[in-house]
Structure 1
C-alpha cells in the first residue's frame, strides 16, 4: 500500500474513534448574558453609577477581657447612617457569637457533619444586657428579637432615607470558645493563653440596592458581608499581657514599658525586623512585670471589621512597610516561643512586609497603619489590619498562610464583595494574587511546582473539572466541604490565570483587574460588576468565558482531528482540522512541525468555535508534517491531553 493510501486509512480511523463532541456553539455563544441592564446605581460598564449608595456604620467599642472566666464584656456604640433611598423601620445586626450556642443553626447543620467549622463545645453566645437608641436628641429602649446569628431592632420612627442617622448602643458579653470554628478562639501555651478575638461585637448587616437586608445566617463555612466605617475600640486586660489589634495602637507609651515603647517606635522606621519583646523577657521583665490592668486603644478608618489578640506569652517584633505613595505602615508579629524554629515565626514580619509591599505596588496601596500577624489556634483567618495564622506553621507553610491571609486585605477588605454568597470573589481572587506574590517573594524562595497549579497534572485537572464538583457560583454554605477548596479557591484562581494568559494577555488583564479594584475599593461589587469591568476595560465580550467557568462545570478538551495535504502533495500546503470535544470554548495555540525541521505556531481566537465544534485551517508547508500539537506550552487545563497531538506516523 502506498504511503498516501496508508495516511487516508489512518485519518479515517482516527475520526472514527473520536469521542462524540458535547459542544454547543449556540449555548456557549448565546446572545443574552446579563440579567438586567445597567442603572443609575451600577453602570453597564461595571462602575458604581452616579447614584450608587451604601450605608455606613461607625463603631466605638469599650471592652474588658476576664482571663479567669475567659469572658469578654463590652459596650458598642454604633453610629448608623442610612444613605439608601428607603426609610428603614427596623435594623438588622450580625450577632455571630450565637453560632457557638448548642441550639444554633450551625450546630444542627455543621457540628454533626464534623470538619473545620464544627463546634466541640458550646457557649451562651452573645448575652445582651441592654439595647438603646438615640436619635434627634431623644433616647429610648427599642424592641428587639434575636434569630440565631441575626438580631432585629425595631425603631420608634423610621430612619429617614438619604442620610438619616442614629446611635445604637448595645451592652453585652460572651465567653470565648476554646475552638471558634477556626476563626477565633484561645490556645494554652507554656507561658499562658493566647486569645484570638473576632466576630466579637454586634455588627450592622448590609442593606444594599441588590437585595435590601442581607441576612444569610452565619453557619461557619460562609464568611462575612459588612458595612464600612471608622472603628475605635479599647481592650482592658491584665497589665502583663500584650494586646495587638486592627489598626493603629493609639497609646503605646501607656501599654509598654519605656524601653519597649522605644523599640516599638524604632520598628516603625526599620526595614529590618526589630525585637520589641523578646522570648527571654517573657515572665521576667518589661510588660511581664507590670501589675493591675492596662487599657489598649486602637483606631482604624474605612474598615468593615476589627479583631484583636491578647497574651502574656507573646514575643513581639516589627518592621516598616514601604508604600508606593511614600507613606509608611507597620508590620507586626505576635507569637509564642513554641512558634520559633527554622524559618519559623521570627521570619513572620519579613513575610508580612514582603506580601503587603508587593500587593500595594501591583494592585492598590495598603490602606491601614499596621498589619499584624498573630500565631495561635486558628489555622488561617483574615480581618482588616490583622490576621490569625497557625502557631505551628513554618517555612513555606508560614509564608503561604501569611501571604494568603494578608492577600485578603484586597479581597474582601478593600473590595467588599459578599463573602456569604460569593466565596470565589474573595478566596479565588486572593489565591490568584498569591501565586504572583509567591513568585516575587525573596526571588521565589517558597515557589514550588504546585500540585494544584500545574496544567499538566492530570489528577488536578480531573479533580477541578469533575462532574460532581460544585460549580463556582454556589453559596459557600451549600458547597460540600470536600469541594470548597476547589470551588472557592483553586478553580477561580485557575480561571483568572486562564483569562490572563490565554484570553486577554497580561497587559490588558492587569489593567482591567487593577481598575476593578480601584472602582470598587471600599464598596460592594456583585459578580456582574466584575464581569462588566473586565469586559469593558479588557476590550472583550467574555460571556462565553463566564458561562463555562463560573455558571457551569464545563471542561476544556481540544483535539487534533487530522491533516490533509492539498492534492496529496506536502509542498502544496496542508489543511489541519481541530475539534472542541467538550462544552467550554477557549482560544487555541497550535504548533506545527515539519519533517525538514521547520516549525510554525498558529494562534487562533475563540471565535473559531462560534459556528461549529470543528474548525479547519490552511497552513503553508514545504515537507510532510511530522506533528501537530494543540497547547504546546501546556497552559490549558485540558481534560484529555492524549488527543492534543497528531503525528505523521
Structure 2
C-alpha cells in the first residue's frame, strides 16, 4: 500500500474526539493540553504551568475529576515501593543487592532514595473556569472537587501550576540513566485520568501501564541551551534550538533555549534531554519522518543507530500494509529510560545494544503506535491486547525485514508459543483477563501479556483463516482508530469478517487457564482417531500423506464456530493438496474418527504450527 502524507493528515482532521458511534451509545472524553515547563538542569527540578480544556461527552455531569501524578510513586513507602518488597520476582532494574554476590539480598531502590533523589509532583494551584478548586493528593492520584459541575456535552478549562522533582532513574522515568542520559521525561505531568463507560480509571502507579483520553498537546520546554531534546509531537522551531538544523542560531533567554512542540490526537506526551544527544532522520516511502536521538558513544553504536533508522522507515511502510496507515507525520526514537516504553509518536529505548536488539526494541515500541497509541487500549485491564498484539506486529516485521527468507520460520511467532507453553505448564498461569497490576508474579504477567497475547492473534488466524485475520486487522483499524475499543470490539470485527462465532475462543483463552491438547490415538489402514485430551475444544487441521505419496488435508470445524474457515493456499505446504471439509466436531465429544480412502504413511495435526497445543509429542504419526 502506497501512503500519501496528505491522506494521513486527513485522519487527524476528520476524526473528532466525540467520534461517530462504532457501537450504539459509544462516547469518549477529550483533552487539549497547553503546557509551559521551566527546567533547572542542576537540581533536576522544574516548574510547570498547564491550561487544559476538558470535554465531557459522557451523558452525565461531573462534580469531580482526577489526575495522575506518576512521579509520586518514586518515594519510600509508596505502593510501588511496597509492591517491590513482596512480589516474589521483582523487576531487577528496580532492585539493588545489599548482600554479596554469593548471597544476594535484594532491596527496593525506591526505599533508599533520599529527599533530593525522590520524584514528586507538588500541585500548587488548580483553577476551574477561573475559580479556585479544592484538591488533594493521594499517592499518585490527584482528586479535584469542582466548584460547579461539568455538564454533559460541554467543556471546561483547568489551570494548574506545580513544581516537580525528577527522580533517580528507577523505572521508565528519571534522571541520569544507566547509559548516561540526563532526563527521561515520561509520565511526567499531571495527566487527566480516563473516564469512560466503565467509570474513572484511577489505578495507582504500581508498575504497569495506563489508559488516557485522546487530545492535542502544545508544549514549550525551557532548558539550558546546550541540551538537545527528543520528544513526542512535531518540533515547531528547529532553527532556534540545538541539533535539528545545521548551523542553527540557538535563540536563548537566561541561557535557556525554548523547545516548542505540537501534537494532535495522542494520549500521552514524552521527551528526553541530554547535552550529548545527536539527531538523525530519514523519511519512509509513505512520507513519515523518523528521527533518532541518541548518545554517539562509539563507532559501533553510531553504526547500529544508522542502520536501525533505515529499518525503522521500512517498518512503517510494512506495517501500514498490514495494520493500517500510520496517521501522524513524525515518529521519534529517543535513547533514554530503562528498556523500551511507548508514548504518543515517540518512544524511549536503551541504546547501548547490538543491532539485533536495537532493531527489535524499536520495532516493538513503534508497533505500539497501533496497539496502544492509535487505539487507546486500556493497558491496565487488557494488557494482552496492547502488548500481545504489539509483539505480534514486531515479530511479523522482524521476520520480513530483518531475516533472510531462508531463515524465516513457518510460524513467525514460534518463540511466543514456546514462552506460553512454559507458563502454561509451570503451574503459575493466571487468567489473561486479570488486571495488569494484580498478577502474583512478573513471570506470569509478562508471559501472558506479551507471549500469550501474541498467540491469541496468530491462533485466531488458524481459526478464521490467515487472509481473514489480515482483513480483520484492517477493518478494525478503519472502525476504531482514535476510539478506545475493547477486546470485544476486535472479536466482533473478526466475526463480521469471517462469519465465524468466536465467543468460545475469546472466553476460554482470556478468562480461564484451560489448555489445548490434542493427540492421534489410533490409526489403521482405513481410519484414524484424534482425541481431545483437554477441556479446550478447537477446530482441527489434519494433513495425511498416503503411502503412494499423495496428500490430503482434512479440516474439522468446531460446532460452536457455526461456520468454517476458507482454504489457506498461501501456505506452500497446502498448495496442490486436496482439502476435505468434514462434519463439525462437538466440544462435548472427546474423540473424532476420520475415514481414510487409503493407507497413511504420515499424519500431522496442524502442520502450520499455529494450534497452541501444550503437548505435541502425539500430534505426529509416522509408522
TM-score by length of 2: 0.83
- Match of 2:200? 213
Query: Hey, what does 1:561 align to over in structure 2?
Result: 521
Residues 447 and 394 (structure 1), Cα distance of their counterparts in 2 relative to 1, 3 Å cut:
farther
- Report SS of the residue matched to 1:69: coil
3-state DSSP of counterpart to 1:406: helix
| Aligned residue in 1 for 2:120 | 125
1:338 alignment partner in structure 2: 297
Tell me the CA shift for residue 508 of structure 1.
Answer: 0.9
Q: Confirm or deny: 8 A CA contact 1:359 1:437 kept in the other structure.
A: yes
Matched, 1:415 2:375: yes
Aligned to 2:146: 155
C-alpha distance in structure 2 between counterparts of 1:344 and 1:288, whole Å: 32
Cα distance 1:233–1:290, how it changes in 2: closer, same or farther (>3 A)? closer
C-alpha separation in 2, matches of 1:605 and 1:334 = 51
Unaligned runs of 5+ in 2: 1-17, 95-107, 560-584
> Is the 8 Å Cα contact of residues 339 and 392 (structure 1) preserved in structure 2?
no
Written as runs of structure 1 = structure 2, the 5 A alignment for 1:487-498 is 487-498=448-459
- The answer to whether the 8 Å contact 1:451/1:457 transfers is no
CA change 1:627–1:329 in 2 (3 A) is: closer
After superposition, where does 1:343-492 map in structure 2 within 5 Å? 343-441=303-401, 444=404, 453-454=413-414, 461-464=421-424, 466-479=426-439, 480-492=441-453
Distance 2:255 2:274 in 1: 15
> What does 1:224-235 correspond to in 2, within 5 Å?
224-235=210-221
Q: Higher mean Cα deviation, 539-548 or 337-346?
A: 337-346
Say if 2:245 is the partner of 1:261. Answer: yes
Give the corresponding residue for 1:592: 544
Is the Cα–Cα contact under 8 Å of residues 100 and 119 in structure 1 kept in the other structure?
Answer: no
The answer as to whether partners of 2:32 and 2:53 remain within 8 angstroms in 1 is yes
RMSD: 2.9
Contact 1:91–1:153 under 8 Å retained in 2: yes
Higher RCO by CA contacts (8 Å cutoff, separation 6 or greater): 1
Q: Which moves more between the two structures, 141-150 or 541-550?
A: 541-550
Q: In the alignment, does 2:548 pair up with 1:605?
A: no
The residue that corresponds to 2:611 in the other structure is 636
State the partner residue of 2:275. 312
**Aligned in 2, Cα 1:193/1:181: closer, same or farther, shift over 3 Å?**
closer
Q: CA separation in 1, counterparts of 2:418 and 2:329?
A: 44
Separation of aligned partners in 2, 1:188 and 1:528:
41
Partners of 1:128 and 1:172 within 8 A in 2: yes
Q: TM-score, normalised by structure 1?
A: 0.80
- Residue 373 of structure 1, CA deviation: 0.8
Offset from partner CA, 1:391-443 (integer Å, 9 cap, x none) = 21221100000010111111110011111111101000100111111122256
* CA positional deviation for 1:287: 6.6
Equivalent residue number for residue 255 of structure 2:
292
CA distance change for structure 1 residues 341 and 610 in 2, over 3 Å: closer, same or farther? same
Alpha-carbon displacement from aligned partner over 1:366-392 (angstroms, at most 9, x marks no partner):
222321111134210110111111121
Shift in CA distance, 485/346, structure 1 to aligned 2, threshold 3 Å: same
What does residue range 131-280 of structure 1 map to in structure 2 within 5 Å?
131-134=126-129, 139-162=130-153, 164-187=154-177, 193-209=181-197, 211-220=198-207, 222-256=208-242, 261-262=245-246
| 5+ long unaligned stretches in structure 1 | 1-40, 265-285, 565-569
The DSSP-based 3-state class of the residue aligned with 1:426 is helix
Name the counterpart of 1:302.
265
Mapped to 2, the partners of 1:594 and 1:437 lie a distance apart of: 37
* Distance of 1:371 and 1:544 partners within structure 2: 39
Question: Which residue does 2:465 correspond to in 1?
Answer: 505
